[in-house]
C-alpha cells in the first residue's frame, strides 16, 4: 500500500481543511450550543461538491472515490463532528443506497439533487426494540395489489438527517413477507419526505452531535408506489449490510479526525498555558500524554486508509473496515478524555473545542455497529465463528 496521497487527493484534503478552519470553526460552537442545524454550512459544502464526491459525474457527482470521502470527513471532524456526520450520513446512508441498488429511473430522480446538497437522504434502519439486532425488524410493508402501492407501518429511531428542511427521502427497511425457510423477508423502500402518514418527531436531546439532525420516525399506513422498492425484493438485509461495511470506513475516518483535532487543540493549549512559571507542555507528563494521542491518531489514520484502499481496489474489506472502525472510535474516546485532562478545568467549559469533542466521541463506539459488534465481526473473519458448533 502506498501511503502517499495523489496530488488530486492532497489538494482536496487541503481545500477542505481550509474550509473547516475558516468557515466552520468560527461559528460552529454557537450552532452547537443552540442545538441548531447549520444550513448555511451545509449549503457551502454542497457548492464544494462534497455530497457528490464518490458518485459518477453522469448523476451529478464528482467522480471521486471512497478515499476522497474519508479525507474530507477526517478534515471536517478535526474541527467539528456534527458537520462531518451530516455529510457522512448524507453520502453513505442517504445517497449510496440509491447509487448501488437503484434503478436508472431512481438514480435520475434522486442522485443529482443528493449530490448537489439540494436535498439530504436518510437511512431508516434502527428500530426502538432492534439496536444491534437489525434482523429483528418489525416495520412492515404490505403490497396493495389493487393500487400497486406499498403500505408501510412501523417506527424507526436515531435516524440522522431525517427531519431537516431539506430532507428529500428516507430509505426504509421493512418486512415484506416470509422466506421459504420461515425467516423474515426484508426489503428496502424509498419514502419521499412529506409522504402522508410519515410522522417525524422532534429532534432528540442528545449528549453530543448537537448541530446535527437526529429523530424518531413513525409510519402509519404510508403509501408509496411499488416502483419505490430499492433493489431486489427480499435483499434489503444484504443491502444494508454492505452499506454498513462501507459506512464503517467513513465513520473510522471521522473518528480519526476527532482524535487528531484533540491533538491539535491540546498542543496549542500546552504551548500557551503556563503553570509554575513555564508552559505546561514542558512537563514530561503532558509530553507523554500528547505523544500517545498522536500515536493513536496516526495509527487510526493508517487503519481507515488501508480499509479504503481495499474497497477502492475492489477487494474484500469487511475485516479491515471493522478493525478501522473499532480502533479509531476507541482512539477518539481516549484522545478526547486525555485532551480534556490536559485542558484541566477549561476542558470542561463548552467554549473550548475539546469539550465538544469529548461530548461527540462516545457515540462513535456505538453508531454504525457497536464496538462489541466490531469485535464479533473480526472474530468471524478470523474463522472463530466455526468453533461455535465444535465439541
- pLDDT digits 0-9 by tens, 299-312: 999 999 999 999 99
Q: 143 near 130, Cβ under 8 Å?
A: no
Q: How confident is the model at residue 189 (pLDDT cuts 50, 70, 90)?
A: very high
d(CA 183, CA 113): 36
Specify the pairing of strand 214-225 against strand 198-200: antiparallel
What is the residue whose three cell numbers read 502506498?
Answer: 2
d(CA 190, CA 131): 21
Q: Over the range 203-222, which residues count as b (16 or more CB within 10 Å of their CB) and which as e? A: bbeeebbbbbbbbbbbbeeb
Q: Which listed residue (57, 216, 368, 372) is catalytic?
A: 368
Residue 109: HSE in the Cβ half-sphere, 13 Å Cα cutoff = 14
Q: How confident is the model at residue 145 (pLDDT cuts 50, 70, 90)?
A: very high
Ordered by start, the domain boundaries in the chain are 7-119, 122-234, 238-384
7-119 in CATH: which number? 1.10.540.10
What are the pLDDT digits (tens) for 28-64? Answer: 999 999 999 999 999 999 999 999 999 999 999 999 9
Q: Residue 3's pLDDT is what?
A: 73
Mean of the per-residue pLDDT values for the chain? 95
Between CA 294 and CA 299, with CA 296 as vertex, the angle to 5 degrees is 105
36 is catalytic: no
What is the residue whose three cell numbers read 487510526?
Answer: 300
Please list the alpha-helical segments (H only) found in the chain.
7-19, 28-34, 39-47, 66-77, 81-88, 96-101, 104-116, 236-272, 284-312, 318-343, 353-361, 371-381
Q: 122-234: which CATH topology?
A: Butyryl-CoA Dehydrogenase, subunit A; domain 2 (2.40.110)
Q: How confident is the model at residue 76 (pLDDT cuts 50, 70, 90)?
A: very high
d(CA 59, CA 33): 37
Specify the pairing of strand 274-275 against strand 278-279: antiparallel
Backbone angles phi and psi of 345, in degrees to 5:
-60, -35
Q: Which three cell numbers stand for residue 60?
A: 451529478
Secondary structure element (H or E) that encloses residue 274, with its range: strand 274-275
Q: Which three cell numbers stand for residue 5?
A: 496521497
What is the residue whose three cell numbers read 448541530?
Answer: 211
Which three-class secondary structure string do you get for 78-125? CCCHHHHHHHHHHHHHHHHHHHHHCCHHHHHHHHHHHHHCCCEEEEEC
Distance of CA 18 to the CA centre of its chain: 22
The arithmetic mean of pLDDT across residues 109-135, rounded, is 89
What is the residue whose three cell numbers read 459544502?
Answer: 45
Q: 77 near 255, Cβ under 8 Å?
A: yes
Residue 366: HSE in the Cβ half-sphere, 13 Å Cα cutoff = 8
Out of 104-113, 125-134, 140-149, 370-379, pick the least confident.
125-134
Q: 319 near 376, Cβ under 8 Å?
A: no
Residues linked to residue 56 through DSSP beta bridges, in sequence order = none
Q: How confident is the model at residue 380 (pLDDT cuts 50, 70, 90)?
A: very high
Residues linked to residue 229 through DSSP beta bridges, in sequence order = 189
Q: How confident is the model at residue 134 (pLDDT cuts 50, 70, 90)?
A: low
Domain boundaries 238-384, CATH class: mainly alpha
Residue 120: HSE in the Cβ half-sphere, 13 Å Cα cutoff = 26
Residue 391: is its pLDDT beyond 50? no
Q: Residue 254's pLDDT is what?
A: 98
Of residues 317, 159, 152, the one with CA closest to residue 248: 317
Of residues 120, 117, 95, the one with CA closest to residue 107: 95
Collapse the DSSP code of 16 into the 3-class scheme (helix H, G, I; strand E, B; otherwise coil) and give the result: helix
Amino acid at each position: 500500500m502506498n501511503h502517499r496521497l495523489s496530488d488530486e487527493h492532497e489538494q482536496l484534503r487541503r481545500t477542505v481543511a481550509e474550509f473547516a478552519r475558516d468557515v466552520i470553526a468560527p461559528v460552529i460552537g454557537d450552532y452547537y450550543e443552540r442545538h441548531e442545524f447549520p444550513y448555511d454550512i451545509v449549503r457551502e459544502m454542497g457548492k464544494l461538491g462534497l455530497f457528490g464526491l464518490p458518485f459518477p459525474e453522469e448523476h451529478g457527482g464528482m467522480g471521486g472515490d471512497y478515499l476522497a470521502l474519508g479525507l474530507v470527513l477526517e478534515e471536517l471532524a478535526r474541527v467539528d463532528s456534527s458537520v462531518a456526520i451530516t455529510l457522512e450520513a448524507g453520502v453513505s446512508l442517504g445517497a449510496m443506497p440509491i447509487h448501488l441498488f437503484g434503478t436508472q429511473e431512481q438514480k435520475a430522480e434522486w442522485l443529482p439533487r443528493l449530490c448537489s446538497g439540494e436535498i439530504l437522504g436518510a437511512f431508516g434502519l434502527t428500530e426502538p426494540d432492534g439496536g444491534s439486532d437489525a434482523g429483528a425488524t418489525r416495520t412492515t410493508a404490505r403490497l396493495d395489489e389493487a393500487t400497486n402501492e406499498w403500505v408501510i407501518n412501523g417506527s424507526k429511531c436515531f435516524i440522522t438527517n431525517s427531519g431537516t428542511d431539506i430532507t428529500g427521502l428516507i430509505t426504509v427497511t421493512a418486512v415484506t413477507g416470509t422466506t421459504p425457510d420461515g425467516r423474515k423477508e426484508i426489503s428496502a423502500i424509498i419514502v419521499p419526505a412529506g409522504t402522508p402518514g410519515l410522522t417525524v418527531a422532534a429532534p432528540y436531546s442528545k449528549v453530543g452531535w448537537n448541530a446535527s439532525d437526529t429523530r424518531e420516525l413513525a409510519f402509519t399506513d404510508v403509501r408509496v408506489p411499488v416502483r419505490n422498492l430499492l433493489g431486489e425484493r427480499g435483499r434489503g438485509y444484504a443491502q444494508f449490510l454492505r452499506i454498513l461495511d462501507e459506512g464503517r470506513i467513513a465513520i473510522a475516518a471521522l473518528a480519526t479526525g476527532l482524535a487528531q483535532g484533540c491533538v491539535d487543540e491540546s498542543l496549542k493549549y500546552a504551548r500557551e498555558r503556563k503553570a509554575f512559571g513555564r508552559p505546561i507542555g514542558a512537563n514530561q507528563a503532558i509530553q507523554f500524554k500528547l505523544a500517545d494521542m498522536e500515536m493513536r491518531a496516526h495509527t487510526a489514520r493508517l487503519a481507515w486508509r488501508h480499509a479504503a484502499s481495499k474497497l477502492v481496489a475492489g477487494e474484500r474489506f469487511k475485516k479491515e473496515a471493522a478493525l478501522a472502525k473499532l480502533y479509531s472510535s476507541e482512539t477518539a474516546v481516549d484522545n478526547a478524555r486525555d485532551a480534556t485532562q490536559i485542558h484541566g478545568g477549561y476542558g470542561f467549559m463548552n467554549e473550548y473545542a475539546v469539550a465538544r469533542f469529548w461530548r461527540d466521541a462516545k457515540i462513535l463506539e456505538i453508531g454504525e455497529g457497536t464496538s462489541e459488534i466490531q469485535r464479533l465481526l473480526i472474530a468471524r473473519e478470523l474463522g472463530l465463528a466455526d468453533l461455535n458448533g465444535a465439541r
